[in-house]
Amino acid sequence: MAVRHYHHHYHFSYLTSKKRHFSSTLIVIAVLTLILLVLFHYVTPQRALNLNQLSPTIILLASFNTLFRLLVAYALSLVLSLPIALLITKSERIERILLPITDILQSVPVLAFFPIIVLVFIKLNASEGAVIFILFMAMLWNLVFSMIGGLKTIPKDILDAATIFKIKGLMKLRYVTIPAIFPFIITGSLLAWAQGWSLLIVAEALHTYIPGGVMNNDPLGLGSLLVNAFYQGQNSVFLGALITMIILITLINFFVWQKLLRLAERFKFD
Amino acid sequence: MTKIIDFKSVTRAYETAKVTAISDVSFTVDEGEFFCLVGPSGCGKSTTLRLIGGIEPATSGTMEKPSEVSMVFQSGALLPWMSVEENVSFVNKVRNMSQMKIDEQTTKYLKMVDLEAFRFRYPRELSGGQRQRVGIARALAVEPKVLLLDEPFSALDPVTTDELHECLLKVWQETKKTIVMVSHSIEEALFLSDRIAVMKQGGIKEILAVDLKRPRNEGAKDFLQLLDKIKSLLEN
């Protein structure tokens, strides 16, 4: 009963939501195209260097590659940030030890100590992994600190209620903790994605990490397209990539974050 | 009468603050009794309740109490992302009760607090009084042996408070549960309970039996006499 009615609130109404139908169709098409293009890309890799062949397909492919990397990095940081935040807030003693460490980790410029790690990835012939790793590190701390903020503001009465009703462990996590910090997860995610986008240019321009690196080392993406087009003076390509990026960010804001922020309102305590 | 709660010289001290929240507190509560703890803020009444609820441990002394207790909180402590129905049913769901039984319990107790019609509303769509009713239904739905209430009506207006007093008495009479309630209002305690423990500075000053017939009249002479007695106990 409970479950059915809960879903009932979110379920499509076939009478009223043409807009929703339209937007969900777009999303499905976009996701399918993303998967296919990325798959094609891995079968026959395209490099960013071939700027002469610039076509909408290349820009589209670059966008999807970039989105794919951001998504993987985000998923990884989301999965990892929750246990980290839970561990840090577990007890005051742990917090006293761990919080300064994470504070230092987040304030050391991400890029300062990366070249070495990134080089390892490249030596292993996993340049994709290198990009995702940079984005992941850039995203992780925003999520961790947002979640810590959320965990610390769960009302005491709510935690006492969980104790009284003997809700512990995973059940507490699922029914109490995660929903309670949901608004903080959303704002943290917003910041994480903003950070991801802003570091994209550096993350995808892998050749800058390699001594004597050439642009051919860069995996195709919006970031590497921007850097390399600019370097080669291909202004139209540069402009095309930039506009695509702005459109993408706006679309994601509109279709994802706006909706999630509105949803998060339901999860806020008075 | 069988004793359901038995505290013997219970002390609760905090490590960080150098104060003892309660010291050397002894009392018993009988099964089915409506027991009230009254006193000014900081007298230790909430701590006593939290010890019964197992939220905090005692520093010393012995406590006999059932483990099946539940609590109604001052803030309601409802989960804003769950509907009224889900708030009442989710504890049983977590405890793997069968869906049929869960629905049965939920409906039964929502009816008891007159909130059947508000099943699919969310806490933010309810008034303060309705939220406390949900809190009561949620606490009852787990079928506790003892129902604890921590100043549940102190944030409500007088009319709503009166309505909820009636509601609580009805629940008590129908379920025959043992109730331990914390209140800073002596009138409230006198109106509702069988016995009142008057607390001050971390200790129980006196436990008074309220031998008045229900429904009680707050203007009656014997009511006012007891009121005066408790007031003078708290003043000295």
- Cβ of residue B59 closer than 8 Å to a chain A Cβ: no
Contact check, Cβ <8 Å, A5/B69:
no
Backbone angles phi, psi at B37, to 5 degrees: -110, 120
Which of A157, A160, A267 is opposite residue B80, by nearest beta carbon?
Answer: A267
**Contact predicate A199/A134, CB 8 Å:** yes
For domain A56-265, the CATH class is mainly alpha
Indicate yes or no: pTM above 0.90: no
Burial class (CB in 10 A: 0-12, 13-18, 19+), A189: buried
Q: Closest approach of chain B CAs to the CA of A191, in angstroms? A: 24
Residue from A6, A11, A156, A165 to probe the interface with B (highest B Cβ count within 10 Å): A165
Chain A's closest residue to B141, CA to CA, is A165
| Cβ-Cβ contacts under 8 Å, A268 against chain B | 80
Q: Closest approach of chain B CAs to the CA of A232, in angstroms? A: 53
- Cβ of residue A167 closer than 8 Å to a chain B Cβ: yes
Cα separation values, B157 from A268, B164, B166, B227, Å: 24, 11, 15, 21
Backbone angles phi, psi at B23, to 5 degrees: -135, 135
Per-residue model confidence (pLDDT) at position B23: 93
Average pLDDT, chain A: 84
Q: Establish, for the pair of chains A and B, how many residue pairs have beta carbons separated by less than 8 Å.
A: 69
Residues 86-105 of B with CB under 8 A from A: 86, 89-91, 93-94, 99, 102-103
Which of A6, A167, A268 is opposite residue B80, by nearest beta carbon?
Answer: A268
Q: CA-to-CA distance for A227 and A209, rounded, in angstroms?
A: 14
Contact check, Cβ <8 Å, B50/A160:
yes
| Cβ-Cβ contacts under 8 Å, B53 against chain A | 160, 163-164
Per-residue model confidence (pLDDT) at position A8: 46
| Cβ-Cβ contacts under 8 Å, B121 against chain A | none
Chain B's closest residue to A182, CA to CA, is B81
Which of A5, A165, A266 is opposite residue B91, by nearest beta carbon?
Answer: A165
Q: Report whether pLDDT(A15) > 60.
A: no
Chain A's closest residue to B92, CA to CA, is A165
pLDDT in tens, A206-235: 888 777 777 777 888 999 999 888 888 888
- Cβ of residue A5 closer than 8 Å to a chain B Cβ: yes
Per-residue model confidence (pLDDT) at position A113: 67
Give the sheet arrangement for strand B60-64, strand by strand.
Answer: B20-30, B3-13, B60-64
Of residues B143, B20, B79, the one with CA closest to residue A180: B79
Q: Closest approach of chain B CAs to the CA of A90, in angstroms? A: 17
Average pLDDT rounded to a whole number, residues A166-176: 94
3-state secondary structure of B42: coil
pLDDT in tens, A228-269: 888 888 888 888 899 999 999 999 999 999 999 999 999 999
- Cβ of residue B234 closer than 8 Å to a chain A Cβ: no
Highest mean pLDDT: which range of A24-28, A183-187, A253-257: A183-187
pLDDT in tens, A51-100: 665 678 788 889 989 999 999 999 999 999 999 999 988 888 888 888 78
| Cβ-Cβ contacts under 8 Å, A266 against chain B | 80-81, 122
Residue from B14, B74, B79 to probe the interface with A (highest A Cβ count within 10 Å): B79
Chain A's closest residue to B135, CA to CA, is A161
Q: Closest approach of chain A CAs to the CA of B106, in angstroms? A: 10
Rg for chain A, CA atoms, rounded: 21
Per-residue model confidence (pLDDT) at position A69: 95
Per-residue model confidence (pLDDT) at position A39: 73
| Cβ-Cβ contacts under 8 Å, B85 against chain A | 1-2, 5
Q: CA-to-CA distance for A55 and A58, rounded, in angstroms?
A: 5
Q: Which residues contact A155 (CB under 8 A, 6 or more apart)?
A: A269, B75, B77
Would you say the C-alpha torsion B6, B9, B13, B18 has a positive or negative sign?
Answer: positive
- For chain B, the structural domain boundaries read 1-68+146-236, 78-143
3-state secondary structure of B188: helix
Q: Which residues contact A27 (CB under 8 A, 6 or more apart)?
A: A255
State the architecture of B1-68+146-236 in CATH terms. 3-Layer(aba) Sandwich (3.40)
For residue A150, give both structure tokens: 């959320």
Q: Chunked in runs of 10, what are the mean pLDDT values of chain B (236 residues)?
A: 93 80 95 96 93 94 95 95 96 93 96 96 96 97 96 94 96 96 95 96 94 91 95 90
Q: CA-to-CA distance for B104 and B163, rounded, in angstroms?
A: 25
- Cβ of residue A266 closer than 8 Å to a chain B Cβ: yes
Q: CA-to-CA distance for A91 and A99, rounded, in angstroms?
A: 11
Q: What is the predicted ipTM? A: 0.93
Per-residue model confidence (pLDDT) at position A9: 47
User: Could you tell me the pLDDT band of residue A6, with boundaries at 50, 70 and 90?
Assistant: very low
